[in-house]
Every structure is written in C-alpha cells, then in structure tokens.
Chain A
Amino acid sequence: MGLTGIEIYKLLPKTNCGDCGVPTCLAFAMNLAAGKAELDACPHVSEEARQKLAADSAPPIRPLTIGTGDYAVKIGGELVLFRHEKTFVNPPGFAAVVATDEDDASVAGKMERFKASQWDRVGLTLRPEMFAVKDVGGDAGKFAALAKRVSDETGAALILMSENPDVMKAAAGELKDKKPLIYAATAENADAMGALAKELGCPVAVKGDGTLDSVIALTEKLTGMGIKDIVIDTGSRELKKLFQDQIQIRRAALKNRFRPLGFPTIVIANEMADDLMGEGLVAGTFVAKYGALIVMSDFQPEVLFPLLIERLNIYTDPQRPMMAEQGIYPINNPDENSPVLVTCNFSLTYFIVSGEIEASRVPAWLLVQDTEGLSVMTAWAAGKFNGESVGTFINKCGIMDKVKHKSVVIPGYAASISGELEEEIPGWSVVVGPREASHIPKFLKSYQPA
C-alpha cells in the first residue's frame, strides 16, 4: 500500500463507532496501512473513499493471465527490484514465433519441439508455454487458421501478432475464450485495437516507438477506455536500451507507483539477435531483469533447456530452499539385502541422487536426512550433516528393521564424517561412496553391502 495510516484515516468516517472490530477509525487505518485489515470490515466507508483506497491498494504491477488451462501464463504482480529482497513471483512465459508465411514443415517442427520440451527437475516440470502467431501480409483467414491450428494442436497460450485490427479480429474473435494476448496496440491503431480487446475481454500489448513517453501515452489511452490487462513492449530492439527500459519501468512502478508503467513487459528477443544462441543471451538477460514474456524464433532444446534452468534459479524463493521430506525412500523395489545410501534433504540433491539410483536399476534404500534444505557440503559445514546427526537418524528411522546387512553408503564429499558415524551406529560399517552422483550407477553395479 502506498498511503500511510494518517492518509487513510482522512478518508474514513471518523466516527469511532467500533463496528470494524477496533475501537477507533485511526486504529483501523493503521491496520489497513500495515496490511493487517480489509477495508470491507468497515461498513460505513463512503463509495468515493472506497475507490481511492482500492486504487491505492492495487498491486503496483498489474497481475494478469494469458491463455487458459494447463498452459495459462500468470505474469505481473512483482513486488521487488532484487530477488533477495523477497522473491520474484511469476516466471516469464517463453514463446516461439510461427508466421503465416512460414512453410508447413517449419510450423509442424516447432510444434513438435514445443511438445517434446518437457523436463523434470526438482519435482517440477520445466517447459515453454506459449506460441506467438504472427501475421505477415495481412491475410485474415490465413492468420486465424494458423492461430487455431497452433492452439488446437498444442494447447499453448497464444500471443497474436498483427498490427491490423481487422486481421486481429479474425483470429482473436475465434479464439477469445482462450484469452490470447493481442499484440499490439500502436500509436496508429490504438483506438481500434483497444476497442477489440475490450469487446473480446482479452489482454492487449502496447508497442511503443522506443521511448517510454510513447508507451505511457498508449497505456493511458487504453486505461481510459476501461482496459486493465495491458502488457508493455517499449519498441526498443537494442539490448542496452531495452535493459534501461526494463529497469526504468520496474522502478517507476514500484518506487513511484506510476500507474501508466505498472504493467508486465514483453521482450521480442527474435528481433534482437542473428541466431538462436544470441537470442538465448537476450532472453537470459531479461529472465533476470524483469521480462514477463519472452519471444524467440524457435524452441531448440540446447538453448531452451539452459534458459528454463536459469528461470527456475532466478525465480526460486531465496528465503526458503526447496526441501524433500526426511525419511526412507525405496527405489527400484529394494529388499532386505539391498544397499542403503544416505543423503541430505536439499531438494536438488535429493532429486539428483534418487534419479541416479533409479537410472542404475539397482534396488536400493535412500535415506534422506533433514538438513533444513542444505546441500551435503553446506550442511556438513553448518554442522547439520555430521556423524552425530546422520547416526541419530539412521538409528531412529527404522531402516534397521528393513535390511539384514549392516552397511551404509555416505556421499564422497562427506568422507570426513565416516569415523564419527561408525561410533554412532555400532556394528555397522560406513562406506564412502563416489563424490559426484553421476558416478553412483557405476558404483552400485559393483557394490555389495556386507
């Protein structure tokens, strides 16, 4: 909220009736300012005050959704400039362009790659979620048909690209229930594109001439028409300039609560580099610096996969490492003779190690000790993965009832805990495994627990 308690107090009835649950209007205003109360708790607030307060409490960057169903992309709603201040919340959507002048095989290839781009990592699925369908030449029928085909065959969220309102109407009208992004309203067509977006209830992008002034003029015009769901393309296609634009837009929205720039942004990376790897670096820049939608010329896994990992990294909540639950994880149907391995509960570590054991096809028991989400070496250095903690866990977790043998494999990087651990689990032998998880399959193939 931008308003202070005193400013809010001035808008309240000042009768101190107490119906809101606190004794005075001032106390209630303070609670509102602190985000500890809802305005609706006061039944006496005037309509005018309600509107002012609602406008003020709206998120500084408009949250909105493009597409529907599985591939719907939520963007906007960001609250910080630096991820360590809190967290970045809505990861940017990735799109590839298909154009009406593109041959069929090329379009089909991109759709194939879209569908094949699904990777599991730390329990999540990494994948792109959008297509940008582009009109070249102004054939409305062709444009609508291509958009429909891509939507039907992939389910992807769509960005419809045409600056001709009639052409746009053909495709957006047909697909309006899928909530495509209308791209773009420009200085030339804003009235018609705005009217279309309003009529269809679809989000709309503005495209400026490379200046923020041109963007502001456009978003003010569209908000004046009652449109709320807007996305910004400043029109800059030069890396350095766009970098500056993105920072200015985010600052204006968050620091100054400047509404005309309080919208998520779209980056047209395919118009900013000569090849896909170059586009990848542009995309990577704006994954970190505030892009909400990123358009590229194609999905090729060798470029897309690293970008999706980057997106995952940057958008991970920095206050809370992702964690797996402490416990015994049976992998590949282990029995009483199967090896026992132990690791920490940092979710990245858990998924890497369990994935390698699974891939080895060797049945095994994986013990995951709670290290508060720290990796093996980090936890060791913090005193959370040592002989005592691992020993206590092995004693208590119940693994001793599940196996007949008495040996446990520890991570190679934790070799130094082995002596101490042996003291904690008398009669058991501690085997130092390989350092890198990728060597686990080879290790397991020749390892026999004693």
Chain B
Amino acid sequence: MAFELIKQKYTGSIRKVTLGLGDKAVTVGGRSAFPFYTFEGEMPHPPRVAMEIWDKDPSAEWSDAAKEPFQDVLADPVAWAKKCIDDYGAEIIVIQTKSADPNADNKPAQEVAAVVKKVVDSVDVPVVVWGTANHEKDTEVMRAVAEACAGKHLALSPVEEGDYKQIGAACLGYGHTVVASSPIDVNLAKQLNILLGNLGVKPENIIIDPTTGGLGYGLEYSYSVMERIMQAALTQQDEKLQQPMINNMGNEVWKSKEANLTADEAPDLGDPKKRGVMMEALTAVVLLLAGSDVLVMRHPDAVKLVKGFIAQMV
C-alpha cells in the first residue's frame, strides 16, 4: 500500500495585508498552512525581503562587512534607498529613525519626518518607518511622519501597548498600516491586536512584530513564539492572531559581537564578511520557517541568499 501524505487540518488562514501603493504595492499573508507546507494548504503570497536604511550615517556603529556595499550612500538616505531597490532588489524599504533616539542624537521629530518624507517621495516601493521603541519620542516622530506622508500608505513601527493610542490614531487618521509590536508573548500580541481593533484599526491594516532576537541572542524565543502565534491563527481559530508577521532582524544580527569581530580579533571564526552574511541569512531562514512574512535585512549578499531560498521553497 502506498504511503499517504499525513495532512494537518487547518481551520483558519492569515489575513492579506497590502503595503504601499500602486504597481509596486506588496501584498503579504493569505497563507492557509504552516510556512512552505504547500502540500496541504495555500501560500499565495510568498514572504518578502525588505532592506533597511538608517536616517543617520551608521559608519561609527557598523562593521566593515556591512558598510562595504553601501560605502558611497551611507550618509544619504535617499541614495541609499535607491541603491537597495535598483542594485539589490529590495521589495520594501525600512527606514530606521535612529537619529531620533533620545539616548543618542535626539533629533527633533519634524527634522526626522522631513528626511523620511524625502525618502518616501523618491521611491516607489512600500516604506516602513521603524522608530526607536521610546514611547514618547516615537509618538512625536510617527505623528509627524504620518502627517507629512499622508495617504502614502506607509507602515509605522513599533506600535506598542504603551503608545498604540497615539500612533494607532495617527495611522488611522492618515491612512497608514500599523506594525503591532509585543515582547515575545502570544497573549500580549493578541491583546494589542484587540486594543487596536477597539481603536478602529482594521485587521487588514495590522502586521505583527513578535520581537526579534538575533542568532545566539534570543532567536529561539522568537522562533517559538512565532510558531505558537501561527498555530493559534491557523489551527485554533484565533482570529485576533491571523495577521502576517514582520521581523526587524538585520539590525539584531549585525549588532551581535560575533557578526562584528574582525579577522584579527577572531582568527578562528573565518572570513568576517561571509560570517556576518551567513549569520544574517541563517537567522532569516529560521524566521521564515517560523512564519515570517516580511524580513528586514541589511547585507545584499544575505538578501540574495534568502531570496534564492524562498524561490526554492515556494
């Protein structure tokens, strides 16, 4: 007797969420099975790779390996975003508003928003704006961004329990998507989606950020919480968790010590560039297997590897 495939029964599917506008708008979600389990369900919209840019020159913080591909554009967010799209095939741009960090440069919200707007106006792919996770500052910055880029259908992040009312309202008012961010916990993720719903944010405008730990720095926690969110969504009819997920992962991977050690500092860890790229690409694979729909990545070589992986798996 021939072996018959053993199939999981699914009772739900992930909602479709569209980022951006026009030809280059990107739809994610719609999946009715565990990620890449296409032998028993649909995966109409494969996961997407977004690339990050910073709104300040990151030279002082980045390793040579990470800087090298962007050497000519690191101080110019607009050129940087274009390079990601034109040269490296970024399908989404994520602007990290690092310049706003109250513990560092603390640039005023209006100035931050002006730079964001410049980038948004000069690219045609969807844009996600990622704040510093400081509630007061993010509220100021995101309000200014939401207004300056009214109708551009950005996604604003992270929207947390402590600032969802303010940032959620700004998203509602100016037509942007909410990235609902909670600290590695199924119940908190669900709770925040309920709160956003009560505020009037529609499910088709919510993406979950489950919080990302990098390889060797909490990745296993992100992996398991994502698997649990996904199981609740797909097999336990938990409607409040049926949202696509995004992982701001390049930033986590590249801040780890092992991704930054030079060949002199760590002769036993091999080629520093390949090591960092491998750490980033592997983290991406693990997150994809756990259910990520949008990966925010940094190094073009890692982006290429991961796109190749996705292409083989769909």
Contact = CB atoms under 8 A, between A and B. Distances in A.
Contact of A256 (B2, B6, B183, B279): B6
B271 A284 contact: no
Contacts of B271: 300, 302
Contact of B274 (A238, A240, A256, A303): A303
Q: Main SS of chain A's interface residues?
A: helix
Contacts of B183: 378, 381
B268 A116 contact: yes
A114 to B, nearest CB: 13
Contacts of A255: 6
Interface string B81-93: 0000000000000
B5 A248 contact: yes
B224 interface: yes
A136 B218 CA distance: 43
Nearest to A239: B312
Given A84-B228, A116-B268, A306 B278 contact: yes
Nearest to A251: B6
Interface residues of A, number: 51
Interface in B177-226: 183, 215-221, 223-224
A240 B43 CA distance: 14
A84 B224 contact: yes
Interface in A142-201: none
B224 A213 contact: no
Contact of B220 (A238, A239, A248, A313): A313
A310 B282 contact: yes
B282 A306 contact: yes
A53 interface: no
A302 B2 contact: no
Contacts of A307: 282
A352 interface: yes
Contact of B36 (A238, A240, A310): A240
A312 B260 CA distance: 20
Given A280-B282, A288-B286, A302-B275, A348 B269 contact: no
Given A248-B6, A301-B270, A348-B217, A83 B37 contact: no
Given A119-B268, A289-B289, A305-B275, A281 B227 contact: no
Nearest to A305: B269
A332 B111 CA distance: 48
Contacts of A256: 6
Indicate the member of B271, B278, B279 with the most A CB atoms within 10 Å: B278
Given A280-B278, A281-B281, A313-B220, A302 B270 contact: yes
A82 B271 CA distance: 33
Interface of B: 2-3, 5-6, 36-39, 183, 215-221, 223-224, 227-228, 231, 255, 257-258, 260, 268-272, 274-275, 277-279, 281-282, 285-286, 289, 305, 308-309, 312-314
Task: Give me the 9 closest cross-chain CB pairs, A-B, nearest first.
Answer: A302-B270, A301-B270, A302-B275, A313-B220, A84-B224, A302-B274, A309-B216, A212-B3, A251-B6
27 contacts: A82-B231, A83-B227, A84-B227, A213-B2, A240-B36, A240-B313, A255-B6, A280-B278, A300-B274, A301-B268, A301-B275, A302-B271, A303-B270, A303-B278, A305-B258, A305-B270, A305-B275, A306-B215, A306-B278, A309-B279, A313-B219, A313-B220, A313-B223, A318-B220, A318-B224, A352-B257, A437-B257
